[in-house]
Each structure stands twice: as C-alpha cells, then as structure tokens.
Structure 1
Amino acid sequence: MTERANAEIALFLKRLQWGLVLAVVFWLLWALGPILTPFVLAALLGWLGDPLVDRLEQRGRSRTVAVTLVFVVMVLLLVLALLILVPMVESQIVTLIDSLPTYREWFLQTALPWVEGRTGISIASWLDPQQLIDLVREHWQQAGGVAATFFGYVQRSGFAFIAWIVNLVLLPILTFYFLRDWDKLVERVAALVPRDHLATVTRLARESNDVLGGFLRGQFMVMLAQGAFYAIGLQAIGLRLGILVGLIAGLISFVPYLGAAVGAVLMLLAAVVQEQGIDWQLLILGGVVFTAGQLLESYVLTPRLVGDRIGLHPVAVIFAVMAGGQLFGFLGMLLALPVAAIANVMISFAQERYRQSRLYAGAPAGLVIGEQVVQTDAARREPPPA
C-alpha cells in the first residue's frame, strides 16, 4: 500500500471521527434541550455582561465586586422594566378583552360577509354551534381520541410549568456564576486548542465575538427604541391598543422591515375595529408613525447602534431562528444567532483561504523542475515584451 493511500485512509478516519463527534453533540442537544435551556441563556447573559465586568476590574475592582455590581444592575434593570411594562401591558390586555365583543361583531357582520362575497365559500355555517355539535356526534370516536390527547397534553404541560419555574429560579444563580468564572472558562477552552492552530482559532473566536456581540447588543437597543417609539406614537394618535401593537412591533423588529410590516397590519385591524369602519385620519397617522419609525431605524438607530460591519443578513437571521426552533425547540432558538455568527465568520475565513489558493489564483507562470523552467500554457500565450 502506497504512502498516498495511507494518508487518504488516515484523513477519512479523521473526518469520520469528527463526524461522529458532531452527531453525538447534536443528539445530546436534542435529548437534553429542556435541561440545557437555562444554562445556555445564563451563558449568553454572562457573555453579554463580561465586558462591563472587565472594565470594572481595570478600574481597580476585584472580580467578585465587579460581578456583584454588574449582576445587581442587570436585576435592577429587569425589575424596572417589569414595573414599567407590566401595568401598561395589563391595561392594554384589559382593553383588548373589553373590546372582544366588538371584534367578534365586526368579524361576523363585516369581515366574514366580505370574504364570503369575494370567494363564494360559506364560512359562517362552520361557526354555527348546532352544526359543530352534529359534527362532533358524527365523529365522536375521533373526538374522544383528540380529548385524550388534549388531557394528556394538559398533564404534560403541568410538569412543563413546574420545570419552567425551576429554570426561572436557576437562571439568576447560573448567570452569577457564569459572570464570575467567564474568563476562567475561556482560558480552559483556549488551553485545549492545538498550539499550531492557536493563532487562527483565536482570530476566528475574536471575530465571532465581535459579530455576535455587536449584533445582539446593538439590535437589542434598536428593538427597545423602536418599540418605545411605536407605542408612544400609536397611543398619541388615539389608537387604544397602541402600546400593545407598538411593543409587538418592537419585539420582532430584529428583522428589518418585519416589525414595521406586522405592526402596520395590527394597527390597521385595531383601527378599523375601534372606529367600526375606515377612519382615514387614524390610518394615515398610523402609517406616518411606522414610516417615521422605519426611517429612524434605517438612518439613525442601526448605523449608530449596530453598524455595517456585523454582516448578519436578515434572511440568515430568519432562517437560523426558524431552523434552530424546528430542530431543538427553544434551546435551538437561543443557539441560532451564536451559530449563525460563527458560521458567518467561518464562511468569510473559507473565502479568504480560497482566494489565496492555487485553485482561485491559477497556476504560476512557470514551474521549476530542477534547473529547467517549464512554461504553462497561459505563459506561452502571453505576447513577448516589446
């Protein structure tokens, strides 16, 4: 067996080994998703707070004191946000519940006849209680199976609720320990990197940290600013559900234009039901609010808070979040953006290596064999110098 064949077999076994390692990692993420969720979320919070802890350390504070200060500030900000947002959201939900009969009447008397007239499909008959009862009697066996499934889901949801409470209690504890020991964790991971690859891995890790940190911190500020702008603006123009619509639009504005589009649709529905018809003044003012908010995001907030060097395309963000949620549930959604940031950096590094390769640059003008220079076809086709 030749030396080249042995090298190919060794390379294949090495790739197979890494493939098995990745398969085990994916299986563990899938199997331990509910348990890993508070750890991953706490690690993200610890990573976000570590730069501030390092700054406090540089000013002479001890690590424990710096971590305690940052942790207290994070808790106070969370409590302040809850104290401000919860009463407003509660009042908006009460307004929404009080308006449900109006929404129902508008849906049955206005929207439904309009849809039936345009499509020719009788939808109202499916909402008749007597027809629903007859349908259940006709398919009672299937209904029993659905009921059993539903009650089983309720029972599982009870255990899930208990697990959610436990995770909520664990989250601040885990966040504190991640903040305190973040630098040690980074050092231990760096110590496992092969020495001949340390420079490359350090560079890629630094670039991934910059991309993800810039995106998350900046986009979080953009979401808060846009949510506040939309909520204040819609409430100011007289939309009773303006705060709720504005907050929803701000929460999903991590994807450019998506928050404004969803918010505009919700504003349109809320305004039509509120006025029992089309109030052009309210609709035009709502459109002005969302247009102004989008211009503010595009020309002021994103350039100043996020910047152009982040490189996470909105389509990549949507795909990463949806794919992570589909594969690993809420844990996958938490890991989606870090994985997307690392993948973005790795793709850029692969492109850089490709541009430096012979495949991209082509063969050199001449190949030296011993003391004889053998010209390539490209060199032969070049005209002689004048």
Structure 2
Amino acid sequence: MADTRRWFWLGGVVLLCGFVWLLHPILTPFLVALLLAYLFDPLVDRLEAAGLSRTWGVVAVFTLFTLIFTALLLVLVPLLARQLFRLYELAPQMLDWIQHTALPWAQSKFGLSDGFWKFDKLKAAISEHMSQTTDVVGVVLSHATASGLALIGWLANLVLIPVVSFYLLRDWDLVMAKIRGLLPREREERAVSLAGECHEVLGAFVRGQLLVMVALGVIYAAGLMLVGLELGLLIGVIAGLAAIVPYMGFIIGIGAALIAGLFQFGGDLYPMLGIVAVFMVGQALEGMVLTPLLVGDRIGLHPVAVIFSILAGGELFGFTGVLLALPVAAVIMVLVRHMHDLYKDSEIYGGGDEPER
C-alpha cells in the first residue's frame, strides 16, 4: 500500500512537470497573475478584517495598484527612455575612451601585447549593430509588429493578467481551503506544516526582497542624480532590479556607476567619491534598516540558490521557468532541510548503537 502511494505521488509530479513543459508558452500570464494574487493577499486580508467585503477589498487594492503603476508609467518611463537614448549617444565615445585610454593603461600595467584585445573588430560589430536602430522604442515596435498574431497574443496576455489576478485574489482563501480539503486525511497536518514553512521562506524572500529592491533603486537613483551622474537614474534602476540577489545590485551598480563616472568626470576625485558614498550608504541602509525591517529574521533563500534556480528555470522552461524558479526553490529548500533532519536522526548517520571497539 505504501509503495502504491509513493508511485501515485511520483506519477503526479511527473504529470505536473509534463504539463508545465507542454503548456509553458501560455502559462506566463497565469503565473504572473498567481504571483500578484500571492503578493496582495495579505493586504486584502487586512482590509477584510477592517470591515470591507472580500470583493471590495480586492477592488480597493487593484485601484491603488493601478494608480501607482500609471504614475510610474507617466513619470519614470519617459525619464528612463531619455537616459537610454543618452546612453545610445554616448556609446561610441565610451568605446573610444576604452580603446585609447583604458586598454593602453591595462596593457602597460600587465605587459599585454598590442593585439591582445582585438578591440577594433568588437567596436566595428557594435557600431554596425547600433547603426541599424534609431531608438529603443523602434526596436521594440519592430519586433512586436513583426507578426500581427504575435501582437494580438501579447495584448491578450496583457489584458488577461489583471482579469485572472482579480478572480484569484477574490477566491484565494476559498481555493486554499479546497486544496487543503483534498489532502489525504492522515497527512493533512504534516502537509499543511510543510506548506507553511514554504510560505514562510517564499514570503520572506519575495515580499521582503521586492520592497528592498524598490527602496534600493530609489536610494541609488536619487543619490547618483544628486552627484550629477548623467545615467544615474538608469544605473539606479538596474542596481535595484539586480538586488533580487543580495549584494548583486551593489556589485553591478557601483561597477557601472564608476565606469560611467570615470568617463563623464574624467577621473575627478570628488564625484567619484560621491558615487562610492551613495552605494556605501545604500548598502549600510540595506543591512541595518531595510532587510531587518522588511524581510525580518525569517529564513530566506541563499543567494547561490536564487542564482541557480533562476538560471535553471530559464534554461528549462524559458520565462515561465524564471517565474516558477523561486517557488520551486523554496519548496526544495524546505524538503532538503527536513531530509537533513531525518538523516541526522537515522542509523545511517549515527551508525547504530554498537559500542566502539
């Protein structure tokens, strides 16, 4: 009987993986909607506890999110577009600076041959590629309108996300109760306990880390713009997004900002110190204020696990795999921790009770 159950659950897992593999091209809007419902459910629960009905709580949350998203589109997107176009204009000059200043310095310091970099071929390839496009919007539109069917599908997915999110969020507690009701009765308590641990790990990382990403993006962008860096907003946003992996945003952001600052300020000491100070302040705030306040002391995912899970998910299932990566990693982390505890309590680890000879 136990073997039958094991084969049943193993078959279920195999069927689920096959389902994701076959249907992953159409799963993206549903997974995004599921993620939004998961993120906003605690807020709706609080509004429901305050006296609002579940439906009106969902409407209030959706209205607030729509207003914030619209404000970001109206304010942030034009600024980022201008900075991207500025980067497009500065790219040839930056390539010249790298070729005639940075690389000769590196060659003299490390004793490299003159033809080591082969930079002329790289520069020619980049310049040829950039000359084929006029702006980022044009590139996006050219790809989006390459196929009328693809454009219609993209718009349908865009409309589908809020619709599915609304119904999932409204019926979230009902769906969770029905799933719990389907669990085997003798395993219900253990399954609910494991699900609670997975929720703790995933919630600690997703909800907390997303808020940390937004806060760091604002801090980095505002600080770099105050220093006077032309690409400060763009680099700050990229550093904030890269902060999904702890310390990754800091490394990418300070590296890009120092390169841009070196090119813009010509090695002037004070602006470069200002750039370093911005990222040091941001890192200090993350470690002492943001992470303890927003993430707390709950167990999150290790940075290496995050990197591996995102890369593995993207390799196996594309963008759908990226969306599934963190939930799957959270479940695996909880199961591995329990397997570790079972192993430490087993005779395999302890070697039995035989006395030493």
Q: Report the CA distance between 1:28 and its aligned residue.
A: 1.9
Q: Report the CA distance between 1:68 and its aligned residue.
A: 1.1
Q: Which residue of 2 aligns with 1:67?
A: 58
Q: Which residue of 1 aligns with 2:322?
A: 333
Structure number with greater Rg is 1
The answer (yes or no) to whether the contact 1:112–1:124 under 8 Å persists in 2 is no
Structure 2 residue matching 1:32: 3-state secondary structure:
helix
* Counterpart residue identity of residue 126, structure 1: K
Q: Work out which of the residue numbers 284, 294, 301 in structure 1 matches 2:273.
A: 284
Q: Work out which of the residue numbers 225, 244, 249 in structure 1 matches 2:215.
A: 225
The answer (yes or no) to whether the contact 2:144–2:151 under 8 Å persists in 1 is no
* Residues 1:93 and 2:88 are matched in the alignment: no
Q: Which residue of 2 aligns with 1:126?
A: 121
**For 1:44-123, what aligned pairs fall within 5 Å after superposition?**
44-111=35-102, 113=104, 118-121=112-115, 123=118
Q: Which structure 1 segments of 5+ residues have no match?
A: 1-6, 134-152, 365-376, 382-386
Cα 1:203–1:172 shift into 2, 3 Å: same
Q: Which residue of 2 aligns with 1:211?
A: 201
Distance 2:85 2:29 in 1: 31
The answer (yes or no) to whether the contact 2:221–2:232 under 8 Å persists in 1 is yes
Cα 1:44–1:361 shift into 2, 3 Å: same
* Residues 1:295 and 2:284 are matched in the alignment: yes
Q: Report the CA distance between 1:315 and its aligned residue.
A: 0.8
Distance 2:143 2:54 in 1: 45
Q: Which residue of 2 aligns with 1:370?
A: none
Structure 1 residue matching 2:300: 3-state secondary structure:
coil
Q: Which structure 2 segments of 5+ residues have no match?
A: 129-141
Q: Report the CA distance between 1:156 and its aligned residue.
A: 10
* Counterpart residue identity of residue 317, structure 2: F
Distance 2:230 2:351 in 1: 66
Cα 1:184–1:257 shift into 2, 3 Å: same
* Counterpart residue identity of residue 110, structure 1: T
Q: What's the C-alpha RMSD, in Å, of the aligned pairs? A: 2.9
Q: Scaled by the length of structure 1, what TM-score is found?
A: 0.79
* Residues 1:344 and 2:333 are matched in the alignment: yes
**For 1:176-195, what aligned pairs fall within 5 Å after superposition?**
176-195=166-185
Q: Report the CA distance between 1:189 and its aligned residue.
A: 1.0
Q: Report the CA distance between 1:183 and its aligned residue.
A: 1.2
How many residue pairs get aligned? The number is 338
Cα 1:67–1:128 shift into 2, 3 Å: closer
Q: Which residue of 2 aligns with 1:270?
A: 260
Q: Work out which of the residue numbers 311, 317, 324 in structure 2 matches 1:322.
A: 311
Identity of aligned residues (%): 44
Distance 1:227 1:119 in 2: 40
Distance 1:179 1:217 in 2: 16
Distance 1:127 1:184 in 2: 57
* Counterpart residue identity of residue 314, structure 2: G
